[in-house]
Amino acid sequence: MLQGYSHELTNPDHLFQRILFLVLFYVDLWSGRVGVGVFQLQKNTYQGPQAISWRPFFILFFWPHQPLVILPALLTLTTALCGEDVMQAGKDLRLERIFNAQSGKTIIVPMDHGTSLGPIPGLISPTDAVNKVCQGGANAVLMHKGLVRSAFRGHARDLGLIVHLSASTDLSPLPNAKRLVATVEEAVKMGADAVSVHVNLGDETESAMLADLGRVGYAAQEWGIPLLAMVYGRGPKIPNGMDPAVVAHCARVGEELGADVVKVPYCGDVESFARVCEGCSIPVVIAGGPKMDTRDDILRMVYESILAGGAGISIGRNVFQDPDPASLVHALSAIIHHGEGLQQARTMLAA
């Protein structure tokens, strides 16, 4: 039986194509059949992820009296289809580690703020922050690759890991210009369940960020790992990034460029956010934004987003900067995963 094998690597530094051939000899002593297989290694590289894939070029079986050539197009089609099935199975398995199986929703706590803002309150010790939200019942945390080595360990329960691939700092004259600082391959080697990319629509560097999202989407598909796109409207032509039309546009961009989950701001009311969710066929999770005044503000925003059809949350500062992140996550879980109302969540926090 012949099987196609696809392997993707990343290296954004070169622009070339290289084709190599691997010749395999096949001998079946039982039937007396001898075969020669020629496999083609094609390496496509560009400014972003590059793909390396083995594909059958042709297979020639020698019978005692006549050869039989299997058409390369048929084999290539077969292996391509098998590869797609395997990659999608990988995505599905990883998504099950991020989304609750019963509710179909998720609680993600991003902790990538150290790169953009520095060691802010709540993230002075990333390990403590991870342990607290894990204790409360978070489904996954999101962080840059360097924190995975030091902070993502020692949890009492299973916790999904999303590795963030893009970054910028508030010290830059272009703080909204996100650049890729990690690769899908790195995330896979770290055991990540998903990767994420940040895009700011309307920024002067929007085109570069969109190109990055598209490339990562391709690499994520090749590796069979889910992609979360954080998409916001931030630029001189966007006076209000929470405008429902802008948010709906952000969600749709994430879907159309290959994301499996998209993160956007909450519009502010159930009706407008319902339209955002209706215009996007992949799960939509909401961002938390800057620290809110009260816990009740957080509960109400999350409750309304779920009513509107949202798939959960990806909230950072409003969770890990809370005086008791574990209890807040527990109350949010009651809303998101168990369908509880605002009053029940408030009672849980008051207990």
Distance CA 301, CA 173 (A): 32
Residue 46 known to be catalytic? no
Residue 112 known to be catalytic? yes
Distance CA 216, CA 305 (A): 28
Q: Where are the beta strands (DSSP E) in 63-206?
A: 67-70, 106-110, 140-143, 160-164, 166-167, 179-180, 194-201
Residue that is written with structure tokens 């809110």 in the block: 292
Residue 24: other Cβ atoms inside 10 A: 11
Candidate list 105, 212, 218, 232, residue with the active-site label: 232
Residue 5 known to be catalytic? no
Which of 303, 313, 322 is CA-nearest to residue 109? 313
Candidate list 212, 263, 266, 322, residue with the active-site label: 263
DSSP classification of residue 28: E
> What 3-state DSSP class applies to 30?
coil
Residue 267, C-beta contacts closer than 8 angstroms, at least 6 positions apart: 242, 243, 244, 247, 273, 276
What residues does 83 pair with on adjacent strands? Answer: none
Distance CA 169, CA 179 (A): 10
Candidate list 105, 112, 260, 266, residue with the active-site label: 112
Distance CA 80, CA 177 (A): 36
Q: Which residues are catalytic?
A: 112, 232, 263
